[in-house]
Amino acid sequence: MADISLPLAKAGKRVSGLVLLMFGIAAFLLIFLLIPAGTVIYVAFTEKGTGALTLLNFVDFFSNDLFKRSFVNSLYVSIMSVIWASLFALPLAVITTALNSAARC
């Protein structure tokens, strides 16, 4: 693999392109995954208006029948998605591996 490097003005050293790619991926994950997930968790455990820590949001969630049914529905859809994706992906992976092995011989 060719080494792609960019000059650094201050340090006089060169930075590998793979290092830049790594920092780009880390920044992307931070911005679009960790910060939103952290915000959701923070809002779930704080009281609206005061910001005090509370579990009242979860009590309200599980006391409402519509929310409970929605939660169970979401679990059902996610579990069935995993099952169906696995049923398709596993045989395809086995076939691909078998074809690659046969092509090398």
Give the whole-number percent of the chain exceeding pLDDT 90: 72
Q: How far apart are CA 35 and CA 41, in angstroms?
A: 10
The answer to whether 69 touches 56, Cβ cutoff 8 Å, is: no
pLDDT, one tens digit per residue, over 5-31 is 555 545 556 778 899 999 999 999 999
Question: Which pLDDT belongs to residue 42?
Answer: 95
Would you list the domain boundaries of the chain? Answer: 1-54, 64-105
Q: How far apart are CA 24 and CA 9, in angstroms?
A: 20
Cα dist from 101 to 71, 81, 92, whole Å: 44, 30, 14
